[in-house]
Amino acid sequence: MSDLQGKKVVVIGGCGHVGLPLGVKFALAGAETTLVDINKDSVDSVMNGNFPFLEHGGDEQLHLALRMGLKASTEKSVCAGADIMVFVIGTPVDEHLNPKLSDVLKIFDAYREFFTPELLVVMRSTLFPGTMEHLSERLKAQGIKTKLAFCPERVSQGYALDEIDSLPQIVSSFDEESFKSAYEVFRCLAPSVIRLTPLEAEMTKLMANSWRYLEFAIANQFYMIAEQSGIDFYRVFDAIRYDYPRASGYKAPGFAAGPCLFKDTMQLASFFNNQFYLGHSAMLVNEGLAEFTVAKVTNCLDGNLWGKTVGLLGMAFKPDNDDIRESLSFRVKKALEFAGANVIWHDPYLADSTDLDQVLTQSEAIIMCTPHKAYRTINFNCPVIDVWGVSGRPQLEVLPGTESVEKVRKVI
């Protein structure tokens, strides 16, 4: 029997991309699980058995979780008597790229009436380093005793249900009682548990996402250097990687967007007193790629976009997903419109999309913003700006060398 069997679990922010997959897993593990969310449409969608966003295998597991008692509500009163309360509250950054701790504190404080010594409070989303210590001291100053742990999510968008089952879970706390309680929870879900201090755990999320952001920036910078010099980037890229093990991890270019990578890189920069120069440089490169593609399409259309029709393929921030949060496709769209272009767009995962055939036939040039699988076999009849290398990628010319000759001799 699972240690979660019969436990009352409440997930705050439970109908979002992080909270819902976790809530489903809690319910499937036997916990009496309730998802609390201020978005009524998302709550209704969940209770009707539908993920409000694209999650592979989501609806099937949600249906099973609902049969096992999973509930969703907009009322915070359902938190009364909970054994475990999970907060899915990320730390956003403001217009000055500084972390907005007030958002986390506001929501945390809104639920403190339900905090008891027996309750385990789990912080789940990315936190600015030192936030857990602040929350711990805040509770002490208010005379509130409760168990507190930080157990960050580490999953990929759209594959959370699979990765909760397969990835190690980091668990951190300030005291042994809190750690033991959190460990007993997450060992029921994850194949293994890694113990860290709260500050170490906070750093894991920021460092992991910043590392990915830097990797994309390197690829994007190389792409812009090559293309600006009249060199086909993908001929060089494929040549570097061909049968060369040391280049196997070489990232391909593309729009580095979404709700985490940029934000977490800026949080790490803020934590390091804005001396994370690699992070700031990566921001300039990755964000600047949008303007670079607009410049390329402008050159394709005789240096003037005014009155020209430009098609965009893909508006989600990553392939085969419906999430448009922080998508650079919209930055491209705004820049094109400001330059006087008529912009039409298609995305197979968005309901208000223009028909694909209309985009393909009416566009004088097309930008591949998001390389959904649906776009990989299209034969285009107009210029295409494709940072991702999906369309019209050149064939690498590889000729036989001594190894091939030796093989021929053996056959003869």
In 37-107, the DSSP E strands lie at: 71-73, 84-87
Contacts of 97 (CB under 8 A, 6+ apart): 266, 269, 270
pLDDT digits (tens, 9 = 90+) for 376-389: 999 999 999 999 99
- Whether 113 contacts 36, CB under 8 Å: no
* Mean local confidence (pLDDT), 1-12: 89
Mean pLDDT value of segment 43-65: 96
- Tokens matching residue 38: 């201020």
pTM summary value: 0.90
Q: In which band, very low, low, confident or very high, does the pLDDT at 406 lie, cut at 50, 70 and 90?
A: low
Domains 8-196 and 210-385 share a fold: yes
Residue 198's Cβ-count burial label (10 Å; 0-12, 13-18, 19+) is buried
Which candidate, 205, 170, 254, places its Cα nearest to that of 99? Answer: 205
Instruction: State the CATH class of domain 8-196.
Output: alpha beta
Query: Per-domain residue ranges for the chain?
Result: 8-196, 210-385
Q: Which CATH number applies to 210-385: 2.40.50.140, 3.40.640.10, 3.40.50.720, 3.40.190.10?
A: 3.40.50.720
Q: Which residue has the tokens 């980091």?
A: 170
Instruction: Note the pLDDT tens digit of each residue in 105-147.
Output: 999 999 999 999 999 999 998 999 999 999 999 999 999 999 9
